[in-house]
Structure 1
Amino acid sequence: MGSFKFLLAALLLAGVLYGCNKDEVKNVPANAPTEQNTTQQVNENATELTEFNFLEFSLDVDYSATESYEIEFENKKSGIEAKLKDDRNNEKLQGDEAYTKLEPLFKQLTFDSTTPNDKVIEQVISVFGIADDFQSIEVEVEFADGTEKEFKQIK
């Protein structure tokens, strides 16, 4: 009985938290992959690529203790969430605004779960225009095939 109460409480809390989410993208393109249709596409035709080859993308670049560049992107069954925070350009975007800015950049990313760490970092630096004076960069990706990878570089 105690586990039933816990499960019920967890479901209620999840519903409340989902309702409070401001990062959700409202104007999702019709051809945007979701966790469900991406998995189906991968299973039906392994060579067919979706719009991006990942479901989740997280980028954290530290320039100093007070300056960073951060991106959070999730594409799940419940919808797409996107956030961008750029301390150097005093920019904070979320939801549709963030997705609109990030979509063309994500389309330029061609790495996959087998790409070496240094090549992924080079591509991310190039695509996102990361300045050379960064202290550390960390990229976390969940690929469309379910593989999760973390790529790091510390100067």
Structure 2
Amino acid sequence: MKCKLLLAVSLVTVILYGCNKDEVKDVPANAPADQNASQQTGETPTDQMTFNFIEFSLDVDYSATESYEVEYEDKKTGIEAKLQDDRKNEKLQGDEAYTKLEPLFKQLNFDSTTPNDKVIDQVIKVFNIDDSFQSIEVDVEFVDGNEKEFKRIK
């Protein structure tokens, strides 16, 4: 019985450790601040935010086996970032992904009222997406709480 319990605890520990690999540990001083922390100081979230979003997801499909994916979340517990580019055989998580994504995110200036085509065009330009894509989808949660999905299918 103790052996099963020990095995179960070990397994849970390994799983939980694996889930945190994409967390950014070395957050730059100018990185987006946590919304709750800024509310406690009386500042508005946009005063502290480097980006106008707290979650950003990009999924570009080139074929059934080739895609480009970006995941970014600014959670209460910290920033998580992932980047996977099948064409360049690149898979980054945590600090490495954030370092590559931060300058790209700073170039994005759309908000929840920006038309779909303008958002997609901007993302294609900023992320240097090859024109041979089959579909592109961007999911964003903005600082103001609005969530929006932008899509283009060829």
Task: Using the TM superposition, give the Cα deviation of residue 62 of structure 1 relative to its aligned residue in structure 2, in angstroms.
Answer: 0.1
Task: Using the TM superposition, give the Cα deviation of residue 49 of structure 1 relative to its aligned residue in structure 2, in angstroms.
Answer: 6.3
Consecutive unaligned residues of structure 2, counting only runs of 5 or more, are 1-11
In 1, Cα distance between the equivalents of 2:105 and 2:60?
A: 17
| Match runs of 1:1-155 below 5 Å | 17=16, 20-32=19-31, 33-37=33-37, 40=39, 44-45=43-44, 48=47, 50-155=49-154
Indicate the RMSD between aligned Cα atoms, in angstroms: 2.1
Q: Residue deviations 1:17-45, cap 9 Å, x none?
A: 4774100000012332223245x39x745
Q: Residue deviations 1:111-145, cap 9 Å, x none?
A: 00110000000000000000000000000000011
**Letter aligned with residue 34 of structure 1:** D
CA pair 92-115 structure 1, distance change in 2 beyond 3 A: same
**Letter aligned with residue 36 of structure 1:** N
In 2, Cα distance between the equivalents of 1:20 and 1:29?
A: 22
In 1, Cα distance between the equivalents of 2:81 and 2:45?
A: 27
CA pair 19-86 structure 1, distance change in 2 beyond 3 A: closer
Q: Residue deviations 1:79-105, cap 9 Å, x none?
A: 000000000111000000000000000
CA pair 150-45 structure 1, distance change in 2 beyond 3 A: same
Percent of aligned positions with the same letter in both sequences? Answer: 76
In 2, Cα distance between the equivalents of 1:92 and 1:57?
A: 17
The TM-score with structure 2 as length reference comes to 0.82
CA pair 70-47 structure 1, distance change in 2 beyond 3 A: closer
SS of aligned partner of 2:129: coil
Q: Residue deviations 1:41-80, cap 9 Å, x none?
A: 9x74587462000000000000000000000000011000
